[in-house]
Structure 1
Amino acid sequence: MRTLLIAALLLFAALPAFAQSPVQPVRLGLCAACHGANGHAAMPGVPNLAGQRLDYLRAALKQYRDGRRDIPVMRAAIGPVNDAELDALARWYNEQPAQVRP
Structure 2
Amino acid sequence: MRTVLIAALGLTCAMPALAVDAPSKPVRLGLCAACHGETGMAQIPGAPNLAGQRLDYLRKALRDYRDGSRDVPLMRAAIGPLSDADLDQLARWYSAQSLSPQALTQP
Question: Which of the five TM-score ranges fits, normalised by the shorter chain?
Answer: 0.7 to 0.9
Amino acid of the residue matched to residue 13 of structure 1? L
Partners of 2:3 and 2:10 in 1: CA distance = 12
| 1:73 to 1:22, Cα distance in 2 relative to 1, 3 A | same
1:21-67, Cα deviation, whole Å (9 max, x unpaired):
42110110000010000100021110000000000000000000000
One-letter amino acid of the structure 2 residue matched with residue 10 of structure 1 = A
Give the drift of 1:100: 1.6
Determine the structure 1 residue equivalent to 2:31. 30
Indicate conservation of the 8 Å contact 2:34/2:43, yes or no: no
Q: Where does residue 97 of structure 2 map in the other structure? A: 96
Superposed displacement of residue 98, structure 1 = 1.1
Aligned mates of 1:26, 1:35 — CA distance in 2: 15
Percent sequence identity over aligned pairs: 57
Equivalent residue for 1:13? 11
Which structure is higher in helix share?
2
- Segments of structure 1 that go 5 or more residues without pairing to the other structure are none
Query: Match of 2:70, SS?
Result: coil
2:82 is the counterpart of 1:84: no
Q: TM-score, normalised on structure 2?
A: 0.82
Q: Number of aligned pairs?
A: 99
